[in-house]
């Protein structure tokens, strides 16, 4: 009986430690942040050149600083670039079962300033996220993730 109690206590402690670890590490695994070598606008410009060079498109750039200002909030510079490569997007959008992943499309690259004065580039870890979903989504997000990292490598340290 005593062994069973110790086993149950061990299982509960193991489960709690696992949950705490996953919660503390999930954002680090699914979101990636890098420091840019350039100023804010130059980072945006260089990213756009790299996006164009790799045949990607930029359907929209959200200026979150300007948006927040409309609501009387003052935040540091933040722009979110929506980027898309139609060849990759069609892999997901052309199939009924994979279309659910459209909620993560287009890919986004966020450029922002922090209080330390540095400019950062952030993005979802598409490769790991796709790996969780499997199949065609894994394949498409793997390619998108690799090419996104290539785009971002043009500006990060």
Model confidence over 21-57: pLDDT tens digits? 656 555 557 899 999 999 999 999 999 999 999 999 9
**In a domain? residue 11:** no
For residue 1, being part of any structural domain is answered with: no
> Structurally, how many domains does the chain consist of?
1
Q: Is residue 91 part of a domain?
A: yes
Is-contact 80 64, C-beta < 8 A?
yes
pLDDT digits 0-9 by tens, 120-144: 999 999 888 888 888 988 999 999 9
Does residue 47 form part of some domain? Answer: yes
Structure tokens at 36: 């840019």
- Does residue 21 belong to any structural domain of this protein? no
Q: What mean pLDDT is predicted for residues 80-101? A: 92
134 within domain boundaries: yes
Query: Residue 131: which CATH number?
Result: 3.30.310.70
Segments forming the whole domain that contains residue 46: 30-152
């Amino acid at each position: 009986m005593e062994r069973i109690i110790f086993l149950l206590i061990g299982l509960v402690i193991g489960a709690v430690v696992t949950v705490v670890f996953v919660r503390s590490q999930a954002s680090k695994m699914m979101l990636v942040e890098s420091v840019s070598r350039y100023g804010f606008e130059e980072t945006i410009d260089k990213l756009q050149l790299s996006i164009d060079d790799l045949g990607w498109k930029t359907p929209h750039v959200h200026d979150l600083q300007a948006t927040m200002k409309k609501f009387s909030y003052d935040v540091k510079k933040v722009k979110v670039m929506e980027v898309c490569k139609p060849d990759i997007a069609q892999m997901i959008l052309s199939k009924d079962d994979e279309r659910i992943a459209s909620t993560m499309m287009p890919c986004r690259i966020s450029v922002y300033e922090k209080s330390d004065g540095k400019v950062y580039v952030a993005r979802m870890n598409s490769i790991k996220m796709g790996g969780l979903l499997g199949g065609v989504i894994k394949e498409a997000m793997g390619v998108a993730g690799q090419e996104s990292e290539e785009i971002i490598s043009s500006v990060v340290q």
